[in-house]
């Protein structure tokens, strides 16, 4: 009888960092299946480093990252890419590539000599471009687009991969507030359709509104994790971000909303 997995993706006592600099030591994190998990914390706290380890871009010097019960490094790269999609913090497109061709690269993990391009691939690409609002840009060169447009194209490529797990490192970077909300609503739709998402976000209020599971980090360690309504408090924000605030219910969603105290000012 096989042991039931606690989660499809987890970090087990990992020590991670760059060169000889350790960011996190013996860090353990479980990503709940079917969750929209958001990782928050101040700059340089280890959020993106953890995400890189969970996606196999970074190899722990100790401990292991487990995907479906086995070390993520025991799988071939293409097999990982069929189970887990990644939108990295910075992405560089090849010179002269069109939007359609870049998004289509998301289908690479599903193709082989025995399975060339199919109608299912085309439908996946079309659906991803429509969902991210870049269908009308299909013939444009990626390097001619604005930062926000390029970001949505990269998201479309990740969606075209159609993986049950999707990791997103600061996906709302370069986007104006309207497109940030559109993208977060899209991620919520994916989550509600059955995908497990893990995102690094800077905006704590966005994290509290959209996450079903929140991980707060500081100095490479997890300070708190759980349902946002249960863990987001003024004390936690002070501890993690050093910010004096009050936490009130969001008037629309009733999720926690952080209001900085700042200096007292009066308005005429």
Q: What are the pLDDT digits (tens) for 80-99?
A: 999 999 998 877 788 899 99
Tokens of 28: 């353990």
Output the pLDDT for position 224: 97
Q: Average of pLDDT values for 13-20?
A: 92
Is 231 within the bounds of a domain?
yes
CA distances from 15 to 6, 45, 49, 50, 166 (A): 21, 14, 11, 10, 23
Is 18 within the bounds of a domain?
yes
| pLDDT of residue 7 exceeding 60 | yes
Output the pLDDT for position 2: 38
Number of domains in the chain: 1
CA distance linking residue 261 with residue 264, whole number of Å? 8
Is 31 within the bounds of a domain?
yes
**CATH code at position 241:** 3.40.50.300
Closest alpha carbon to 176 in 143, 211, 149, 145: 149
Is 268 within the bounds of a domain?
no
Is 61 within the bounds of a domain?
yes
Range of the domain at 243: 9-93+163-260
Query: pTM of the predicted model, to two decimals?
Result: 0.89
Output the pLDDT for position 91: 76
Output the pLDDT for position 173: 82
| pLDDT of residue 238 exceeding 90 | yes
Q: Which residue has the higher pLDDT, 161 or 6?
A: 161
Is 245 within the bounds of a domain?
yes
| pLDDT band at residue 184 under the 50/70/90 scheme | very high
- Write the pLDDT tens digit of every residue in 118-132: 889 999 999 999 988
Is 78 within the bounds of a domain?
yes
- Write the pLDDT tens digit of every residue in 53-73: 999 999 999 999 999 999 999
Closest alpha carbon to 196 in 30, 49, 24: 30
- Write the pLDDT tens digit of every residue in 190-236: 899 899 999 999 999 999 999 999 999 999 999 999 999 999 999 99
CA distance linking residue 172 with residue 150, whole number of Å? 11
Q: What distance lies between CA 242 and its chain's CA centroid? A: 24
Is 149 within the bounds of a domain?
no
| pLDDT of residue 152 exceeding 70 | yes
């Amino acid at each position: 009888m096989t042991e039931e997995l606690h989660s499809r993706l987890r970090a087990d006592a990992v020590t991670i960092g760059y060169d000889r600099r350790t960011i996190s030591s013996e860090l353990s994190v479980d990503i709940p299946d079917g969750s929209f998990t958001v990782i928050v914390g101040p700059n340089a706290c280890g959020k993106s480093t953890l995400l890189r380890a969970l996606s196999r871009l970074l190899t722990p010097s100790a401990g292991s990252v487990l995907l479906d019960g086995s070390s993520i490094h025991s799988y071939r790269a293409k097999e990982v890419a069929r189970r887990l999609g990644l939108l990295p913090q910075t992405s560089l497109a090849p010179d002269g590539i069109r939007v359609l061709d870049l998004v289509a690269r998301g289908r690479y993990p599903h193709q082989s000599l025995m399975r060339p391009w199919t109608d299912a691939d085309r439908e996946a690409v079309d659906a991803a471009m429509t969902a991210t609002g870049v269908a009308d840009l299909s013939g444009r060169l990626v390097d001619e687009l604005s930062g926000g447009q390029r970001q949505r194209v990269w998201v479309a490529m990740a969606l075209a991969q159609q993986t049950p797990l999707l990791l997103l490192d600061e996906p709302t970077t370069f986007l104006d507030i309207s497109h940030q909300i559109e993208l977060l609503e899209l991620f919520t739709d994916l989550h509600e359709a059955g995908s497990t998402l893990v995102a690094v976000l800077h905006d704590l209020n966005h994290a509290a509104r959209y996450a079903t599971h929140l991980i707060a980090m500081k100095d490479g360690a997890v300070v708190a994790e759980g349902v946002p309504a249960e863990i987001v408090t003024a004390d936690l924000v002070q501890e993690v971000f050093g910010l004096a605030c009050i936490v009130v219910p969001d008037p629309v969603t009733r999720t926690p909303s952080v209001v900085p105290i700042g200096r007292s000012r009066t308005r005429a």
